[in-house]
């Protein structure tokens, strides 16, 4: 892995979190506590796995950021009035599905079958599924009101995903699938939000 590109990827990711914090402080319209709490939980487990495994400082920093970034966002949301009691049925269903899938992922990954090639590929797909299910409640909010979303965090995360992809020197399905998924999803969101804002601007001018 190219350490310089990976560090640049982390820098863009951190900047994305910073801009999202700012958007929250300015009363961002599209907020979903469930998504960020679940990302905090997943980030915490990822951080622990990097702490207790033989990993370099850069990857350890990545694990810490994947936990602290969503945690701070979730805490800011609760400070701004978001409550777990306000969670709707759709969010609850997504939460249960994601938690069950993630537990299954952890159990299989830690078993004797975790290193079998086809199992590793299947686990990569499961991990992508978990993240997408966690993301779905927030995606739903953005779909309904793209004009109320700040484009800068998603653009930063899209660039970060591209740099992370370029940092990988030897690509494999297991090593690249999740990063490709994130980059593709962030880029689609950037395009969707950008088009919505352009349309809104034209309507205001008209």
The confidence score (pLDDT) of residue 206 equals: 60
DSSP 147: G
Q: Which of 138, 128, 132, 137 is nearest to 90 (CA)?
A: 137
**CA–CA distance from 170 to each of 119, 173, 175 (Å)?**
20, 10, 9
**pLDDT of the residue at 29:** 59
pTM of the model: 0.87
N-to-C CA span, the chain? 50
Six-digit token string for 205: 């001018």
By the 8 A CB rule, do 65 and 16 touch?
A: no
Q: Residue 86 corresponds to which tokens in the numbers above?
A: 């306000």
pLDDT at 30: 63
* Structural domain that includes position 163: 3-205
Task: Name residue, tokens 């940092």.
Answer: 167
| pLDDT averaged per 10 residues, the chain (length 206) | 88 93 74 87 85 73 87 86 77 91 89 86 92 92 89 95 91 88 95 92 72
pLDDT at 162: 95
Distance of alpha carbon 12 from alpha carbon 111, whole angstroms: 35
Q: Which two tokens stand for residue 71?
A: 């945690």
Q: What DSSP character marks residue 53?
A: S
Question: How many domains does the structure of the chain reveal?
Answer: 1
94 close to 130: Cβ distance less than 8 angstroms: no
Judge whether 80 and 70 are in contact, CB under 8 Å: no
H or E stretch at 2: none
What's the rounded Cα separation, in Å, for the pair 135 and 149? 15
């Amino acid at each position: 892995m190219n350490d310089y590109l990976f560090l640049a990827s982390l820098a863009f990711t951190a900047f994305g979190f910073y801009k999202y914090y700012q958007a929250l402080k300015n009363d961002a319209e599209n907020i979903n506590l469930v998504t960020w709490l679940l990302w905090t939980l997943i980030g915490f487990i990822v951080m622990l796995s990097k702490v207790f495994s033989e990993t370099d400082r850069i990857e350890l920093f990545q694990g810490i950021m994947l936990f602290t970034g969503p945690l701070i966002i979730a805490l800011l949301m609760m400070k701004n009035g978001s409550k777990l009691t306000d969670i709707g049925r759709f969010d609850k269903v997504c939460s249960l599905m994601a938690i069950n899938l993630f537990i299954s992922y952890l159990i299989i990954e830690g078993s004797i079958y975790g290193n079998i090639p086809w199992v590793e590929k299947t686990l990569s797909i499961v991990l992508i599924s978990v993240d997408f299910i966690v993301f779905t409640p927030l995606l739903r909010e953005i779909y309904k009101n793209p004009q109320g979303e700040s484009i800068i965090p998603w653009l930063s995360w899209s660039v970060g995903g591209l740099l992370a992809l370029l940092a990988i020197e030897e690509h494999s399905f297991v090593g690249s699938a999740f990063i490709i998924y994130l980059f593709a999803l962030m880029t689609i969101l950037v395009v969707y939000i950008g088009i919505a804002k352009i349309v809104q601007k034209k309507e205001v001018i008209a």
